[in-house]
């Protein structure tokens, strides 16, 4: 017994000596709230980014993701980062178009409809977005698009008249405005809550990607998905600028490298996931296909109105984005 005690005591002392002998680098733990389900490709990409940073910084910065709105609900994540409640997080910035119309550049209907066009528009918009973020104490690390947005309904819809009076789940200003302009009733609901909203009749329809419908198994309540490719909104991974200023140059390099890889991997997944999830919706029992010509024409007219409204709100900075896009 005595010898065991001695061994343990010696071990403890040796451990204490070893600890004090280590350089005084305290591991920083960064909690990273994310709004979408853990299985969603944005969340998977975020978890890989977190692991990359943790490994790459030798554990000096350890990031833990919290998907599904479990730490902060989507709408609260940006403020939590700005105010330093968390150092880092992911948010769909078009959800904050009321703060700056610039954040809505990615939700202007039918301005772009493919990933390639969207990428080009993002390059044009990015400097203006980063400028607004900087004013809000936020630094952009990386950003990943959602697949093209299509319309989900309980019943068949072939025209805007068929949409009249439906309860339409909205996730940002553009989606609410689209509901208003098509005679529907917008109700803002986080993606994490939509399965229940459709099951209980709080909403009958939405515009979103095949990915979100698939993640939330909406075929349990809804029956039609119409590909309209209205726009491709983006999620942004942002860090509090004060926190960022305190990161060593070496760790900034690691984080930026991890961010570039995450943006690449996330974008690739968004593209791959588009076809996969639409097939998944059909396998779940939904009717999946292009919207009728009449519905498309009528939606394009709504899009014209919304484009004009966005440009009016975004002013010269908005026009500069469009000019840069068209000049390329």
Q: Which residues contact ligand PCA by CB under 6 A?
A: 92, 146, 171, 191, 208-209, 211-212, 233
In angstroms, what is the minimal distance from the CB of 41 to ligand PCA? 11
Quote the tokens at residue 228: 């309209």
In angstroms, what is the minimal distance from the CB of 143 to ligand PCA? 13
In angstroms, what is the minimal distance from the CB of 323 to ligand PCA? 27
In angstroms, what is the minimal distance from the CB of 307 to ligand PCA? 19
In angstroms, what is the minimal distance from the CB of 286 to ligand PCA? 16
Give 87 or 150: the residue with its C-beta nearer to ligand PCA: 150
The residue count for the chain: 328
In angstroms, what is the minimal distance from the CB of 187 to ligand PCA? 13
Contact 221, 198 (CB under 8 A): yes
In angstroms, what is the minimal distance from the CB of 27 to ligand PCA? 33
Give 43 or 82: the residue with its C-beta nearer to ligand PCA: 43
Q: Where are the beta strands (DSSP E) in 67-218?
A: 88-92, 138-145, 150-153, 167-170, 185-188, 205-208
Give 30 or 171: the residue with its C-beta nearer to ligand PCA: 171
**Residue least distant from ligand PCA (Cβ):** 209
In angstroms, what is the minimal distance from the CB of 15 to ligand PCA? 48
Give dist(CA 102, CA 129) in Å, integer. Answer: 6
Give 30 or 146: the residue with its C-beta nearer to ligand PCA: 146
SS3 33: strand
Give 205 or 208: the residue with its C-beta nearer to ligand PCA: 208
Instruction: Give residue for tokens 């805007």.
Output: 160
Contacts of 17 (CB under 8 A, 6+ apart): none
Instruction: Give residue for tokens 């076809």.
Output: 275
Give dist(CA 15, CA 1) in Å, integer. Answer: 21
In angstroms, what is the minimal distance from the CB of 148 to ligand PCA? 9
Give 127 or 275: the residue with its C-beta nearer to ligand PCA: 275
Give 70 or 326: the residue with its C-beta nearer to ligand PCA: 70
Give 30 or 214: the residue with its C-beta nearer to ligand PCA: 214
Give 30 or 36: the residue with its C-beta nearer to ligand PCA: 36
Give dist(CA 271, CA 194) in Å, integer. Answer: 23
Contacts of 23 (CB under 8 A, 6+ apart): none
Contacts 24+ apart (CB under 8 A), 58-63: 59/27, 60/25, 60/27, 60/28, 60/248, 60/251, 61/27, 61/28, 61/30, 61/247, 61/251, 61/255, 62/27, 62/28, 62/29, 62/30, 63/30, 63/31, 63/32, 63/88
The strand pairing partners of 92, in sequence order, are 235
Query: What is the distance of C-alpha 107 from the center of its chain?
Result: 13
Give dist(CA 309, CA 15) in Å, integer. Answer: 65
């Amino acid at each position: 017994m005595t010898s065991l005690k001695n061994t343990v005591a010696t071990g403890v002392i040796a451990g204490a000596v070893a600890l004090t002998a280590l350089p005084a680098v305290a591991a920083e733990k960064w909690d990273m709230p994310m709004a979408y389900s853990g299985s969603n490709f944005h969340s998977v990409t975020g978890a890989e980014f977190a692991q990359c940073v943790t490994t790459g910084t030798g554990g000096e910065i350890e990031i833990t993701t919290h998907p599904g709105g479990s730490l902060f609900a989507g709408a609260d994540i940006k403020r939590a980062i700005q105010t330093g409640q968390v150092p880092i997080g992911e948010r769909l910035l078009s959800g904050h178009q009321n703060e700056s119309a610039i954040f809505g550049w990615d939700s202007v209907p039918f301005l772009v409809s493919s990933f390639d066009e969207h990428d080009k528009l993002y390059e044009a918009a990015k400097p203006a977005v980063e400028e607004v973020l900087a004013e809000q104490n936020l630094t952009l690390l990386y950003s990943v698009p959602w697949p093209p947005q299509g319309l989900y309904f309980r019943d068949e819809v072939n025209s805007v008249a068929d949409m009249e009076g439906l309860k339409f789940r909205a996730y940002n200003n553009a989606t609410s405005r689209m509901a208003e302009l098509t005679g529907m009733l917008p109700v803002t609901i986080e993606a994490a809550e939509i399965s229940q909203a459709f099951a209980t009749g709080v909403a009958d329809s939405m515009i979103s990607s095949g990915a979100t419908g698939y993640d939330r198994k909406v075929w349990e309540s809804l029956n039609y998905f119409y590909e309209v490719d209205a726009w491709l909104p983006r999620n942004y991974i942002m860090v509090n600028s004060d926190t960022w200023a305190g990161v060593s140059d070496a760790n900034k390099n690691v984080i930026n490298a991890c961010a570039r890889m995450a943006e690449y991997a996330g974008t690739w997944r968004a593209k791959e996931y588009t076809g996969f999830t639409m097939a998944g919706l059909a396998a779940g029992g939904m009717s999946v296909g292009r919207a009728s010509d009449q519905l498309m024409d009528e939606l394009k007219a709504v899009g014209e109105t919304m484009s004009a409204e966005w440009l009016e709100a975004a002013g010269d900075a908005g026009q500069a984005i469009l000019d840069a896009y068209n000049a390329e």
